[in-house]
Amino acid sequence: MAIELLSPAGNYEKLETAYNYGADAAYMGLTKFSLRANAGNFDQEEIEKVKALKARTGKKLYCTMNIIFRQKQIEELETMKDEIASWPFDAFIVSDIGTVPFFQKYFPEKELHLSTQSSCINSMSAKVYHDMGFKRIILGREASLDDIKRIKDKVPEVELEAFAHGAMCMSYSGRCLLSSYLTGRSANVGDCSHTCRWNYKMYYALEEEERKGKYFPLEEGDGYSAILSSKDLCMIDHVQDLIDAGLDSIKIEGRMKSIYYVAVVTRAYRKAIDQDKDLDKFKRDIFDVSHREFTTGFFYSSSPIETKDDDVSRPTSYGYERNYTFLGSIGKEKENGVWVLNCKNHIQRGEELEFIGPDVPLLSDKDFTLLDENMFPLLQIDHMKKGYIKSSLPLKEGYIIRKLSDCKYV
């Protein structure tokens, strides 16, 4: 079986983008019970659109139900079985073991995937979870390539999935109390305020710059380090190592990221998996979309104490890097060379725009024309305003629009 590429879908637009740019499957959340409560997520009105998209593409869709359920939420889950059943899901991603009987009773034909929140990083645990009914284990981010190989050798009947790109949570695979302590927003029920990515001053402890007097000790222990998430995971140069280790699915983080992020990151990993001869042309976009300093995480070392130039425990030299500004996407063609403009930012006539597509590294145009709904020329179009773009380029629906960024570091 070829390795699966699994991309994030924070809303319908991102789901469509993920499929169009090369994902074999996507994972999404409903408005409840997902660890990205502030992502756009999906509501009941979008069911038919999602069903039609799945039927057209033949690709898979997984539902994240991976919060740690409070009593009120578990009671609410029982009342939502009919609503959940109306969606065309192929699998449920869960971490709260108490919900397993619910899914097995009401959705016996659907696969169960164990969330990374459950921190499974050894073969004994993988065997237990498989015997419980889980077809796939989404490994904890602490699992090394050697760990993955050993787990696969000992439990070959279970599918293994791992995050290969994106933000890395603090603590054991995201079971974090820091957000709840500082802001009252619990990461374990989907309301994370990303406190691990704030700017801190370091003494013998950490002090967050806007919360004077709040200190967090740095600790090292036997097999763990208490660290903050200052870097982004990136395995684009090591995809073959992930395949050789025995993974069945490579996962991209980012349900709260833009469609630009979903497009370029999905596209790059698709080309890497397929060993595309033009991979380098597509791979460079990963370094242009907004990101923090990259790391290979724990894949080449089970302990962050073992030094490596890109080690996750080493401090970063900057915050977010962004070489391009995302402007929007191309919609349907109204007439020859005139396209609906899905504007997500400010676009001015005469500036140089760049367009990228699933198999097109780059097209650029300064001679485009902006048009209003009555086809009259415009000097500019602002965020979310309706309009059209006329270009002589061979554009297609779904192409991403961007321009060089004025500010590289944010």
Residues 351-368: tens digit of each pLDDT: 999 999 999 999 999 999
**What pLDDT was estimated at residue 45?**
80
Task: Examine the domain organization and report whether 170 and 227 are in the same domain.
Answer: yes
Q: How far is it between the farthest Cα atoms of the chain?
A: 68
Residues 151 and 244 in one domain: yes
Place of tokens 């609503």: 83
- Alpha-carbon distance of 212 to 257, in angstroms, equals 30
pLDDT tens digits for range 27-57: 998 877 765 555 556 777 889 999 999 999 9
Residue 227 lies in a domain: yes
Q: At what angle do helices 259-273 and 12-20 cross, to 10 degrees?
A: 20
- Residues (pLDDT < 50) of the chain are 171-173, 204, 217, 219-227, 303-309, 312-315
Give how many domains the chain has, as a whole number.
Answer: 2
3-state secondary structure labels for all residues of 8-29: ECCCHHHHHHHHHCCCCEEEEC
Same domain, 245 and 378: no
Asked if residue 330 and residue 288 are part of one domain, the reply reads: no
Residue 61 belongs to some domain of the structure = yes
Reported as a single tens digit per residue, the pLDDT across 237-275 is 999 999 999 999 999 999 989 999 999 999 999 999 999
Residue 311 falls inside a structural domain = no
Phi, psi of 195 (to 5 degrees): -65, -20
8 Å CB contact between 249 and 3? yes
The answer to whether the Cα torsion of 77, 66, 71, 195 is positive or negative is negative
Dihedral pair phi/psi, residue 250, rounded to 5°: -105, 125
Q: What is the pTM of this model?
A: 0.85
Q: Do 177 and 77 fall within a single domain?
A: yes
Are 270 and 334 contained in the same domain?
no
Closest CA to 158 of 119, 117, 114, 95: 114
**89 in a domain, yes or no?**
yes
CA 64 vs CA 126, 226, 260, 284, 322: distances in Å = 19, 27, 22, 30, 29
Q: What's the first-to-final CA gap in the chain, in angstroms?
A: 41
Together in a domain, 54 and 92: yes
User: Same domain for 225 and 352?
Assistant: no
Amino acid at residue number 219? E
Residue 59 corresponds to which amino acid?
Answer: K
Within a domain: 162: yes
Question: Which of 164, 169, 128 minimizes the C-alpha distance to 247?
Answer: 164
The residues near 377 (Cβ < 8 Å, ≥ 6 apart) are: 349, 369, 370, 371
Task: Judge if 238 and 339 occupy the same domain.
Answer: no
Q: Do 373 and 265 fall within a single domain?
A: no
**pLDDT at residue 318, rounded to an integer:** 54
Residues 383 and 235 in one domain: no
What is the domain extent for residue 367? 324-404
Indicate whether 399 and 281 sit together in one domain.
Answer: no
Q: Residue 123: which CATH number?
A: 3.20.20.70
Bridge partners (DSSP) listed for residue 167: 232
Is 348 within a domain? Answer: yes
| CATH code (residue 339) | 2.40.30.10
